Amino acid sequence: RRRIHYKHEAQTARDCLVLHHLSPMRRRGFHLIPRLSSIVPESCLLIVVGLLVGGLMKLVGEIPPVLESKIFFLYLLPPIILDAGYFLPIRQFTENLGTILMFAVVGTLWNAFFVGGLLYGVCQLEGHRLVTVDLLSCLLFGSIISAVDPVAVLAVFEEIHINELLHILVFGESLLNDAVTVVLYHLFEEYSSVGSITVMDVFLGIVCFLVVSLGGIVVGAIYGILAAFTSRFTSHTRVIEPLFVFVYSYMAYLSAEVFHLSGIMALIACGAVMRPYVEANISHKSHTTIKYFLKMWSSVSDTLIFIFLGVSTVAGPHEWNWTFVMATLIFCLVARVLGVVGLTFVINKFRIVKLTSKDQFIIAYGGLRGAIAFSLVYLLKTEHFPMRNMFLTAIITVIFFTVFVQGMTIRPLVDLLAVKKKQETKRSINEEIHTQFLDHLLTGIEDICGHYGHHHWKDKLNRFNKKYVKKCLIAGERSKEPQLIAFYHKMEMKQAIELVESGGGAKFPSALPSTVSMQNIQPKKPPQDRALPQLSKAREEEIRKILRTNLQRTRQRLRSYNRHTLVADPYEDGWNEILIKRKKMKELEKKMNNYLTVPAPPPDSPTIARARLASDPQAWGLKSVTESIPTIKVDLASPQSPESVNMVDEFGKKGSQSKASKEEEGGLTMKVPSPTNQRKDKTADEDNDKEPQQRLMRCLSDPGPTAEEEDEDEAFLP
């Protein structure tokens, strides 16, 4: 018996691998036919592919592998849910939480009982074969099929770029209804063996539901906090940072599932809770890794699920019964529409932004069913449920209908109804400033009204978060970084990456069409401030001293790159050469100012130039240092430009020890660029100025993959 088991599983594994290798190729092929992809959603095509593969296998004589529930729930589903949870737009989610919960809980319950009850009625009326189906089986079937499926919703909605509100409503509902489904499923499954239910059982069911959902969330949140806490200490082991994220999340899912709590909710809670803290702690590279791995895994899972659905359709034991299947389909659709309309009527009384009928239509139409329902039915044992095969057939029919018919027609309908689409604008710093201002303003007005509303509690939570939680979970100075500043630095980094990738040369990213520079907005200054400062002898001496101490530290690390170094060691070459080069760079920098919407950083020091070359000798031709970008300051050695005065004073004490710790950060730090005028002011009255303390920035090592549109990356409770 064991051998057979092994053979079966090995076969499944082999088939999985085959399909896995084929699927990315298939995807690419699919994208080569753009017309097709604009009409038919990817999920449909994948199912068709699965059908073809299944058909082929049957022809050949092999048994096509079925989407085994174990594989589905353990391996295929978690990556998709984690991807969704990690990048969940928290702000929209919490703003609409009431609505989402209403749809998820009440809506799903309504669907389940409506479909289940009516199906039972139909079965009784129909007579002959169907009369054996008892009420509890029908209700169980109803509860399985009533849940909107997150995988299907994601697959279809992602392509139609609908506005954020509708997206989060349908998607949020699909995520949160998992708890309801789990509870109903287990309830009905157990009671069907018992036979009858009492009022006590109903009450227990409600308690069960609360336990399952809240328990799942709590489990997820605990693991999320653990992950955040761990990431605080990973500054020395940056390479395994992504691993923590994945491992903790998966453990959250497994733990929840083991205790029959809602695994999906645990996963969502884990991802959403850990994200703001983890992102503050981990390096940029790790962040990119996590993002791409999550996208990759969820993409693969997604593809496999749909293909398997197709294959299983060909394979699985079917029992077609016209009445039952048609009745199921009709009741599902009717239930969905009635549910949405009825609930919206109630919800709109409590919403500021009411849901229009267009919105309601899209929400109803977007209630797609998918693989979760299929897997749940597949798990049913034929001994307890003799009509299991019929259920399977009915579910597949409904899934096919929703995915094919609704999935294909939703895009033209969205266009036809002129539903608002997602705005593709980049989040600008002005919007951020005014959004934050608005938040504080609304909180203030609520306080003046004496009304403890939405904003009041949000503000309290934010303050609690800032005061206690962030200190615990975020390493170093970043725990105190206000959100506006974090956003500003993030923007700067994005700009820096873009400039770096464009080679800093001839072509500049089209996102910066401006040719407005700092001079255009600064109030007129007295002429002497505009001249380039002449370096005095004393200054020269200081700079030389700084460089000497600097170079001693960096010499070890950079020794191997010496032959690439443009700017030579002051001991070896003339110091004047370096100064001339620096002056040249300053002049060029003035020209470069035109291309920045964040003010330009101070010009490079020799160590910086060397460090930049050290990071990626390929990307920077020997020319680039003299010609172009002084805009990106990549400073391996000293976090501050050696031109700042206080390095001389502080270097001995504070600078060195903090520098040492910063070197350990691993990677190159980027300084906050300060306006050139400011710098000029500084150099003018250098002796009086006190350079502010070190500013610790996100580590920026080599540019890496293109910085994409990161509209999913929003801060926690903005």
Partner 1 sequence: MGSFQSLPDDHQYRTLSQKTGFSLEQIAILHNRFKQLSQNEETLRRDDLKTIQDLESNPIRSQIIEAFFDSRNFQKDGVGSVEEIGFEEFLTVMSYFRAPPQHITEEQREEMRRAKLRFLFNMHDTDNDGTITLEEYRHVVEELLSRSGALGRETAKGIADAAMLEVASISVGPMAPDEFYEGITFEHFLKILNGVEIETRMNIRFLNMDATVLCK
Which residues make up the interface to partner 1 (CB under 8 A)? Answer: 348, 352-354, 423, 425, 428-431, 433-438, 440-456, 463, 477, 480-482, 484-485, 488, 491, 512-524, 596-599, 672-675, 678, 692-693, 695
Closer to partner 1 by CB, 435 or 701: give it.
Answer: 435
Q: Which residues contact 689 (CB under 8 A, 6 or more apart)?
A: 645, 646, 682
Helix axes 150-160, 77-86, angle to 10 degrees: 50
Q: Minimal distance in Å, beta carbon 522 to partner 1? A: 7
Closer to partner 1 by CB, 37 or 436: give it.
Answer: 436
Give the number of other Cβ atoms within 10 Å of residue 241's Cβ.
21
How do strand 669-670 and strand 634-635 relate by DSSP bridges? antiparallel
The residue type of 658 is S
Q: Minimal distance in Å, beta carbon 337 to partner 1? A: 21
Q: Minimal distance in Å, beta carbon 684 to partner 1? A: 17
Q: Minimal distance in Å, beta carbon 496 to partner 1? A: 13
Could you tell me which residues are beta bridge partners of residue 669? 635, 699
Closer to partner 1 by CB, 31 or 591: give it.
Answer: 591
Closer to partner 1 by CB, 318 or 695: give it.
Answer: 695
CA distance 213 to 163: 28
Q: Minimal distance in Å, beta carbon 462 to partner 1? A: 10
Q: Minimal distance in Å, beta carbon 495 to partner 1? A: 9
SS (H, E, C) 32-43: HCHHHHHHCCHH
Q: Minimal distance in Å, beta carbon 299 to partner 1? A: 29
Closer to partner 1 by CB, 416 or 521: give it.
Answer: 521
* 524 exposure class (CB count in 10 Å sphere: 0-12, 13-18, 19+): exposed
Q: Minimal distance in Å, beta carbon 517 to partner 1? A: 7
CA distance 185 to 179: 10
Closer to partner 1 by CB, 132 or 357: give it.
Answer: 357
CA distance 86 to 88: 6
The angle subtended at Cα 383 by Cα 377 and Cα 388, nearest 5°, is 30
End-to-end CA distance of the chain: 57
Q: Minimal distance in Å, beta carbon 437 to partner 1? A: 6
Q: Minimal distance in Å, beta carbon 468 to partner 1? A: 15
Give the number of other Cβ atoms within 10 Å of residue 345's Cβ.
11
Closer to partner 1 by CB, 514 or 552: give it.
Answer: 514
Residue 699, SS3 per DSSP: strand
CA nearest to 330, candidates 416, 255, 398: 398
CA distance 150 to 373: 11
Closer to partner 1 by CB, 421 or 545: give it.
Answer: 421
Residue 635, SS3 per DSSP: strand
Closer to partner 1 by CB, 63 or 445: give it.
Answer: 445
Q: Minimal distance in Å, beta carbon 508 to partner 1? A: 13
CA distance 163 to 425: 12
Could you tell me which residues are beta bridge partners of residue 162? 421
CA distance 717 to 459: 9
**Which residue's entry shows tokens 């803290």?**
277
Q: Which residues contact 611 (CB under 8 A, 6 or more apart)?
A: 554, 558, 634, 635, 636, 637, 668
Residue 640 to residues 284, 326, 426, 651, 659: CA-CA distances in angstroms?
20, 72, 31, 11, 9
CA distance 276 to 474: 9
Closer to partner 1 by CB, 405 or 445: give it.
Answer: 445
Closer to partner 1 by CB, 249 or 443: give it.
Answer: 443
